[in-house]
Amino acid sequence: QTTDEAVNKLTTHLFKKYQTVEDYANASLPELESDLHSIGLYRNKAKNIKDMAETLQTRFNGVIPAPHKELIPLPGVGRKTANVVMGDTLKKPEGIVVDTHVKRLSNRIGFVKGDNPIIIERELMKIVAQEDWFKYPNLLINHGRARCMARKPDCIHCEVLEYCNFAKKATKIWLSREKEV
């Protein structure tokens, strides 16, 4: 598990060094591990990247498969990664990326209830327009960083205050405290 900042820093180096699927497939596992050493679970990630690149070469002629269902079984790829690839790389979103931020904020605001990413994704797909499926997680992530931090949300300045279940509860608490004073 790694922060977005650490991954972004690492990918800058990786994308310069490895520019094709073939580059990843031909890299030695120890070399990939060394390149990924700065992030958590780097050995497992290196193995998955190498295995995925080899699978892309042998099964898909080095091309990322477009059907969502063909991406998910690739080594190291699950629903979340497949949704990122479909939306960002292929510009064909087939689902909503549900990471920890999307899960936390979608629950906090009141769009969903639960912890299961697959159920959360299904529920969000009912209320978010399909053309916004790829934008929605990025909007929530940015909102979570700017306003709705996990430990200390800034409800007073929140842009979605009127829609937010958490803020409604917090406002009631603040008002009751003001009455006591």
Tokens describing residue 146: 């700017």
DSSP 137-169: HHHHHHHHHHT--SSS--GGG-TTGGG-HHHHH
Q: Any idea what DSSP says for residue 27?
A: S
Taking the CA of residue 61 as centre, how many other CA atoms within 13 Å lie in the half-sphere pointing to its CB? 1
In the chain, DSSP finds a helix count (H) and a strand count (E) of 10, 0
d(CA 124, CA 121): 5
Tokens describing residue 155: 């409800």
What is the set of active-site residues?
80, 99
